[in-house]
Structure 1
Amino acid sequence: MSALFFVLTSLPAFAAQTEAPLPETFANHKVVLQISDSDPFKQTLVLNVAGNLQRYYGASDVDIEIVAFGPGVRLMLKGNANSQRMQSMMTAGIRFSACANTLANFAKKLGNTPELVEGVDKVPAGAGRILQLNAAGWQILKP
């Protein structure tokens, strides 16, 4: 019985350790943009929305993280058509996170893990990251 109690009480602590850390932010607006689509139009759209939000509110008043999972991770792969634009957006303070689960599945199919655009963070689970940010008061947008 005590071993079962230990396992059950340890699970929440273990789960919390596997989540990516929350960003420190003093912005009034916190937005997480979801991209889970491989369509280049939608991938460009999510970048446009992020840029438009930053221009509208000002870089110091909005914190933006773009989270990709499933086919949307293609946006964050090194050498994609938006790589330079993403680097510029990172310089302006926009964060990018790619799902490690998706990358592991890509690796199974490809035989190697594809490289990410420099500066993209890996998070354990893209959908989990979105829920984590939402629980911390971030608004979710899926353009």
Structure 2
Amino acid sequence: MLKIKNCIVLLLGIFMLNTAIAEVPEPTIPDTFAKNKVVLQISDRDPFKQTLVLNVANNLMKHYGADLDIEIVAFGPGVRLLLDGNVNTKRIKPMMEAGVRFSACANTLGNFGKKLGKKPDVMEGATIVPAGAARILQLNAAGWQVLKP
């Protein structure tokens, strides 16, 4: 009887996890004519690393100009970069206006929510993707170069 109960609890947990992930639609690959396509990974909570990823994006924008498409994908502790109130918001907003896309991992946000008691707010303009690592793989499979500064 205990085995059946444990199996039911396990199946319910798997179902709930799949339902939570299914709520976030998978974004499409941007249809762009840019010759250079780069996805930058940030998975570190270290403010230096978060500043570094923004610096790399800015340097690439200066070097390639309009012939560049950039997406910064944040997951794990790095998702803090895209939370409302982050100290880098003043740097990120102009980058968004210039066409840089920012993606936050729904899995990480869900885990943060469990610890905090509520899901954290992501800054306006950032896209929530089901899984940050999967988004990087998706873009890489579509020909995007992956950089992890």
Q: TM-score, normalised by structure 1?
A: 0.86
Q: For 1:85 and 1:118, locate their aligned partners in 2 and report how far apart those are by CA, in whole Å.
A: 13
Give CA-to-partner distance per residue, 1:38-84, whole Å, 9 cap, x none. Answer: 000000000000000011000x2000000000000000001010011
Q: Which residue of 1 aligns with 2:132?
A: 126
Q: Which residue of 1 aligns with 2:14?
A: none
- Paired amino acid for 2:29: L
3-state SS of paired residue (2:119): coil
Q: Which residue of 2 aligns with 1:24?
A: 31
Q: Which residue of 1 aligns with 2:118?
A: 112
Q: TM-score, normalised by structure 2?
A: 0.83
Q: Which residue of 1 aligns with 2:53?
A: 46
Rg bigger for which structure? 2
3-state SS of paired residue (1:113): coil
Report deviation, 1:117: 1.1
Q: Which runs of 5+ in 1 are unaligned?
A: 1-14
Q: Which runs of 5+ in 2 are unaligned?
A: 1-21
Greater than 3 Å deviation, 4+ residue runs: none
Give CA-to-partner distance per residue, 1:10-31, whole Å, 9 cap, x none. Answer: xxxxx9x953211111000000
State the aligned residue count: 127
User: Identity, % of aligned pairs?
Assistant: 71
RMSD over aligned Cα atoms = 1.4
Q: For 1:113 and 1:83, locate their aligned partners in 2 and report how far apart those are by CA, in whole Å.
A: 19
